[in-house]
Amino acid sequence: MLPILYYGTEAQKQKYLPGLISGELKAAYCLTEPGSGSDALAAKTRADLTSDGQFYVLNGQKMWITNSGFADLFIVFAKIGGEKFTGFIVERNSEGLTFGAEENKLGIKGSSTRQVFFENVHVPAENLLGEIGKGHLIAFNILNVGRFKLGVGVMGGAKKVASLSVQYANERVQFGEPISHFGAIQHKLAEQAIRTFAVESAIYRVSNLLEIKAQEAMHAGASYAEARQLAAEEYAIECAILKVAGSEALDYVVDEMVQIYGGMGYSEEAPAARAYRDARINRIFEGTNEINRMLTVDMLFKRAMKGAIDLVGPAWAVQKELASMPSMEAVTGAYGEEKKALEDFKKIVLMTAGAAAKMQMDGKLNLKEAQEILMSVADMMIELFLAESLLLRVEKLSSMETSIDQDTYDAILQTHFHDAGFRIQKSSTDALTAFAEGDLLRTFLMGLKRFSKYPPRNVMSLRRKIASALIEANAYCF
């Protein structure tokens, strides 16, 4: 639906959108090919304009196409003349359009997934979507929105799975008491909630940022569709972060659900097995998590090179700070320790990413060939964004009346910051040791130690507090 809304002509919108909105028409999105998954622009499906200019003739093959078993419309990407990557609207009754058998998938078995074949399919010229040669804009901007929506979807799944885990733990009796009374199970229940709550906090934040940006664009004269595109482009990094963080949080939550269910978790009679199978696809589609991690860092560096983000200034300030004596200022105020830790997390990211970028500019490092460094930087960016989003949310909740006492929200915050600090420290160490050595490396590691000062927390006690709220509510309750 969105490619037509964003890039369609007025005639295309009037013809197709009412049916798509009402559900009378179903649509499918044909981008992936056998030889082009993450590398979408390597597509080989070809479109050639007929001599009379009335039709584009499509030949090629698409695979892993969701909804293809019943879709009425297909958004298809093909190269005009074998070169210009372009979008098309193709109707199901088009002659030469055929389908493979339903794929026998690991999970999401309720979803129709087939190959789609184009053999001299004549598409009316008026069904060309957007501009010739600009199909990549459609593909990538729609993927940005798709990543945001996927983050929302997996968060909902994580909440459901967390609730089922609590309910089973309360019902399952071993050694004369519910297994929810055992510390090892309480750890799992609490960690399910912490990861879900952190992702949800980031989703609330990004959804608000997207809405504000879209409203600003509309007030400046942009159409509804243009405003939504601009918002998705502006927050493409954040959408990629939500996709990665959400899908990996759900994987953790689902895996622990299977463990909490024990033997029943491995049985198709219980809900854990289906959830386990269904969750796995989320790290693959809408761009694999590896691709999204690399995009996150790549987009950051590109924006810095264009001057849209000042990365060099703050990174240089961190470098100067490393050469000075550490500050001994006392941390004060509500959530002062978390705010200080957040500043330090940012310094670690700037120090690591800035050093890697400088190494590349000096010709001493090729980040395209050192993807592991990009992965580590991306992981730090994800941790930073989740931690900041969580702090903003918990701080806001502290001024509101809620059914959960504030100490429990604070327990989620403190446990997350405690663990995130160690994860950021490891990612930074992995990256720094990959491209620095000698005195330079020692300087960086000293800086890393200086910026890793969040006080140790009794996370066992904090997790038990979180678990108690879940067990009492018999559901995910945050």
Count CB neighbours of 44 within 10 A.
14
Burial per residue of 72-97, b for 16 or more beta-carbon CB atoms within 10 angstroms, e otherwise: bbbbbbbbbeeeebbbbbbbeeeeeb
HEC assignment per residue over the chain: CHHHHHHCCHHHHHHHHHHHHHCCCCEEEECCECCECCCHHHCCCEEEECCCCCEEEEEEEEEEEECCCCCCEEEEEEEECCCEEEEEEEECCCCCEEECCCCCCCCCCCCCEEEEEEEEEEEEHHHEECCCCCHHHHHHHHHHHHHHHHHHHHHHHHHHHHHHHHHHHHHCEECCEEHHHCHHHHHHHHHHHHHHHHHHHHHHHHHHHHHHHHHHHHHCCCCHHHHHHHHHHHCHHHHHHHHHHHHHHHHHHHHHHHHHHHHHHHCCCCHHHHHHHHHHHHHCCCCCHHHHHHHHHHHHHHHHHHCCCCCHHHHHHHHHHHCCCCCCCCCCCCCHHHHHHHHHHHHHHHHHHHHHHHHHHCCCCCCCCCHHHHHHHHHHHHHHHHHHHHHHHHHHHCCCCCCCCHHHHHHHHHHHHHHHHHHHHHHHHHHHHHHCCHHHHHHHHHHHHHCCCCCCCCHHHHHHHHHHHHHHHCCCCC
Give yes or no for a contact between 189 and 166, defined as CB atoms under 8 angstroms apart: yes
Q: Compute the distance between CA of residue 141 and CA of residue 230 in angstroms, rounded to an integer.
A: 9
Concerning whether 286 is annotated as a catalytic residue, the answer is yes
Q: Compute the distance between CA of residue 103 and CA of residue 95 in angstroms, rounded to an integer.
A: 23
Say which of 238, 248, 286, 338 is annotated catalytic.
Answer: 286
Burial status of residue 101 (CB atoms within 10 A of its CB: 0-12, 13-18, 19 or more):
exposed
Count CB neighbours of 269 within 10 A.
8
Residues labelled as active-site residues: 286
